[in-house]
Structure 1
Amino acid sequence: MRDSYMASDPAYQAWRRGERDRSADTDPGQRPWLQLMQETTARGVEVRRARVVSVPESDYIRFEHHLSDANVKAGEQIRWLPRRQASQLALPGNDFWLFDDSLTVFLHFAGDGELAPHDDEERTTDATVVQMCSTAFEAVWDIAVPHQDYHLS
C-alpha cells in the first residue's frame, strides 16, 4: 500500500537509469520470485496480489507495474486499485501477506520505504487478525483492476 519501496534495490536503480526489459528482471532463472511463482502455481496454488496506489503513480509504482508482466506470466494474479477508490475500505495499517486464511505476515517499512531495521516482519495466526486481513484483501480485490487492464496515468 506504499508508493515507494526500497529505493536502494539495484533493479529499481537500473530501471531509473532507463535499463528496461533486462533478463535479470524477467527470467525465472535469475529472479527467484518468478521461479517460486511458477512452482507454486503449477501445484494449483492460487497467488493473488493487490496493490493500492496513488494516482498519478510514483516512479516506484511505475517500476512495479513494468515488472508485473513477468509476475503474471509466472502465474501470479495481480490487481491494482487507485487509492481514491479505497477510501470506503477498512485496511490494515501495514502491507501483509495472507497464507491459507490461517497466517498473516505483516511487513514493516521505514519512512523511506526501506525495510525497518530489526523489525521487518510480524507473523500472527490470531484468527481475528487473519480474518480482518482476509476481509480487507477481498474488498480490495473485488473492486481492483486486473493487471492487463490497468493503465498508468
Structure 2
Amino acid sequence: MPSSVPGFGELLGQCRTSAVHLELRDSYATTERFDAWQRGERVNWADRQSWWHPYDQLIADTVARGVMIRRARIVSEPVSAYIRWEHYVTHANVTAGEQVRWLPRRLAGGIALPANDFWAFDGSLLRVHHFSGDGAVVEDEITEDPATLGLCVAAFESVWERAVPHEAYKI
C-alpha cells in the first residue's frame, strides 16, 4: 500500500525557516553502508564524489536557501556500534550544512520526550517516524496537532540546549 505521507524532499522543499530532527534510538535497521563499516571499510572523505549522495545535496540546497537544519541525537553511553558508525558518517551531514548535536541519555532526565523520532518543519508540521523493534521504519505519520507539535518542538529545543556539538562529542 503506497504511503499518503509526502516525501521528505517535498516537505523540506516547502520548508521556509527551520527543520529539526530528533533521534532517540541507539540502533536502527542495518544497511549495507553500516555493514561495510563494521567490516572495517572507511569513507575516503577527501573524495567527495565517492560519498556525496542526493540526500546531502538536498540538505545543502535547502541550507543555501536560508533554512536552518538541526539534528539532535540522544544516545546511551557507552554507545552502540550503530551510534559509533552514525558519529563517523555524520561528517557528511555536517559538510552538507546540518548542525548536529549529541546528548548522552543520562543528561536527558527531566525533559519530556516524545516516544518517536521526528522531523519538525517550520515548527508547524511534524513527520513522526514509527519503527519496529529491530529499527526498521514501519510507517511515517504527518500531524499538525498543536499539542503534539508543542511537545516535540519543546523537547527538541531542550535537548539541543543540553547537547554537545558534533565536533566536540567524542566517542
**Unaligned segments of structure 2, at least 5 residues:** 1-23
State whether structure 2 residue 84 is matched by structure 1 residue 78: no
**Mapped partners of 2:77, 2:115: distance in 1:** 20
**Mapped partners of 2:51, 2:39: distance in 1:** 23
CA RMSD of the aligned region, Å?
Answer: 1.7
* Matched length: 147
Partner of 2:80: 58
Given candidates 124, 142, 151, the residue that maps to 2:143 is 124
Q: Secondary structure of 2:141's partner? A: strand
Deviation at 1:132, TM superposition (A): 1.0
Q: Secondary structure of 1:131's partner? A: helix
Given candidates 109, 122, 133, the residue that maps to 1:87 is 109
Instruction: Tell me which protein shows more strand as a share of its residues.
Output: 2
Percent of counterpart pairs with the same letter? 52
Deviation at 1:74, TM superposition (A): 0.9
Deviation at 1:87, TM superposition (A): 1.5
TM-score computed with the length of structure 1 as normaliser: 0.91
State whether structure 2 residue 136 is matched by structure 1 residue 108: no
Deviations 1:105-124 (A, max 9, x none): 110111011112xxx11110
Spell out the pairing of 1:15-30 with structure 2 (5 A cutoff). Answer: 15-22=37-44, 27=49, 30=52
- 8 Å contact 2:43–2:51 — kept in the other structure? no
**Unaligned segments of structure 1, at least 5 residues:** none
Deviation at 1:69, TM superposition (A): 1.2
- 8 Å contact 2:72–2:102 — kept in the other structure? yes
Q: Secondary structure of 2:155's partner? A: helix
Deviation at 1:28, TM superposition (A): 8.3
TM-score computed with the length of structure 2 as normaliser: 0.82
Deviation at 1:138, TM superposition (A): 0.2
Partner of 2:152: 133
**Mapped partners of 1:12, 1:27: distance in 2:** 19
